[in-house]
Amino acid sequence: MVDNKKVLFSAMQATGNLTLGNYLGALKNWVNLCDEYECFYSVANLHSITVRQDPAAFRKKNREILTLFLAAGIDPVKNCIYYQSQVSAHAELAWILNCYTYMGELSRMTQFKDKSAKHADNINAGLFTYPVLMAADILLFQADVVPVGKDQLQHLEITRDIAQRFNQIYGDVFTVPEPYIGKSGARIMSLQDPEHKMSKSDENPNGSIYLIDDPDTIIRKFKRAVTDSEGCVRYSENQPGISNLIDIYSACTGKSAADIEKEFDGKGYGDFKLAVGEAVVDVLKPLQERYADLSKNKDYLDGIIKENAEKASYFANKTLRKVQKKVGFPEIIR
């Protein structure tokens, strides 16, 4: 609890380009959560180096993602938005928790299995202990709730196990977090392969709409989107491509699937795809304008980054000190 509010923590890795899926499924919903929760949102850049990064491109990407958090409307005064690497308590707690986590449980993580298959030439120890760092992220802030996608639920489960194990030995140190199930945001699928989710690490850029794509690119990607063979705009399991476009149009305009089917009754896929593209351009336009403004305002951004890192450090260090004391490390002499 902070100021009688429950605590919410989430993070996004600082890799790839944020997509329309990240926006509609996460960022957009994060904006108003600060009314109910004390919210911490981190750019999870320590997690990113489990995969090799080019330093200059990575530095730029970190800033881009943090700026997009702000451009999406997350208020940096009401929320704490910060770089994970600037709060050293993450790495310190992760080390301690490593000593309370078993090889066996980490070996069962499906993300580890997937990523080690994908990066067979670089199966580093960080990739293996990734979930422990994620547990440290969450537990440092004594988070009550964590909004995550389905693919991260297993990591949340291991976080709960680690927290409970630690609490059993040392008493009530950590809040045991729950997944946050908000009003169901749309799960956006790839425009090229509607059986798979739109993802920032997809190698085919035509499958994803990036938040910083210009309007022409957005329209072009929608025109090229894979559709189905029924020839009509109808929501159906047999039409995953069209159903995905209906979901996107619905999320951008607030119209229901039934209304959308009516609106495009008798019209072809071409008209519909163009309308969806235009709706997405309209939704992203203010975000892109704010992004452009913020990017020009270096001092303002730097100020926010500094203040928020200090705020995050304050809360994180409180937990870290408590843990260090419980474990039996000598206290810091001031």
Question: Among residues 5 and 200, whose Cβ is nearest to ligand ATP?
Answer: 200
Instruction: Report the alpha-carbon distance of residue 156 to residue 153 in Å, rounded.
Output: 5
Query: Does 115 participate in catalysis according to the annotation?
Result: yes
- The binder of 144, among ligand ATP, ligand LTN, none, by C-beta within 5 to 8 A per type, is none
Q: Which of 195, 324, 302 is nearest to 332 (CA)?
A: 324
Q: Which residues contact ligand LTN (rule: CB under 6 A)?
A: 9-13, 44, 47, 134, 137-138, 146, 148, 152
329 DSSP 8-state letter: P
Q: Which does residue 137 touch among ligand ATP, ligand LTN, none (CB within 5 to 8 A, set by kind)?
A: ligand LTN
For the CB of residue 219, give the shortest distance to ligand ATP in the complex, in Å: 20
- Contact partner, 138, from ligand LTN, ligand ATP, none, Cβ < 5-8 Å per class: ligand LTN
Nearest distance from C-beta of residue 163 to ligand LTN, angstroms: 13
> For the residues of 132-185, what is the DSSP string, one character each?
HHHHHHHHHTT-SEE---GGGHHHHHHHHHHHHHHHHHHSS-S---EE---S--
* Least distance (Å) between residue 145 CB and ligand ATP: 13
What is d(CA 45, CA 38) in angstroms, rounded to the nearest whole number? Answer: 22
Q: Which is nearer to ligand ATP, 199 or 239 (CB)?
A: 199
**Can 78 be counted among the known catalytic residues?**
no
CB 16 within 8 A of CB 58: no
Catalytic residue among 6, 28, 113, 197: 197
Identify whether the C-beta of residue 46 lies closer than 8 Å to the C-beta of residue 91.
yes
Report which DSSP code applies to 1: -
Which is nearer to ligand LTN, 154 or 288 (by Cβ)? 154
Per-residue burial over 64-91, b if 16 or more Cβ lie within 10 Å, else e, is: bbbbbbbbbebebeebbbbbbbbbebbe
Q: Binding partner of residue 134 among ligand LTN, ligand ATP, none, CB under 5 to 8 Å per kind?
A: ligand LTN
For ligand LTN, give the closer residue by CB, 166 or 272.
Answer: 166
In this structure, what token pair is assigned to residue 300? 């303002």
Query: Least separation, in Å, of the C-beta of 199 and ligand ATP?
Result: 4
Active site residue 322: no
Q: Phi/psi of residue 76, each to 5°?
A: -75, 0
The catalytically annotated residue of 5, 6, 200, 311 is 200
Q: How many CB atoms are closer than 10 A to CB 292?
A: 13
CB of 10: closest distance to ligand LTN in angstroms? 5
Which of 84/243 has CB closer to ligand LTN? 84
Q: Which is nearer to ligand LTN, 11 or 312 (CB)?
A: 11
| Residues of the shown chain interacting with ligand ATP in the complex, contacts defined by CB under 6 A | 12-13, 15-16, 19, 21-22, 25-26, 147-149, 187-188, 197-201
Contact partner, 71, from ligand LTN, ligand ATP, none, Cβ < 5-8 Å per class: none
What span, in angstroms and rounded, lies between the C-alpha atoms of 8 and 163?
16
| Other Cβ atoms closer than 10 A to 49 | 14
As annotated, the active-site residues are: 115, 197, 200
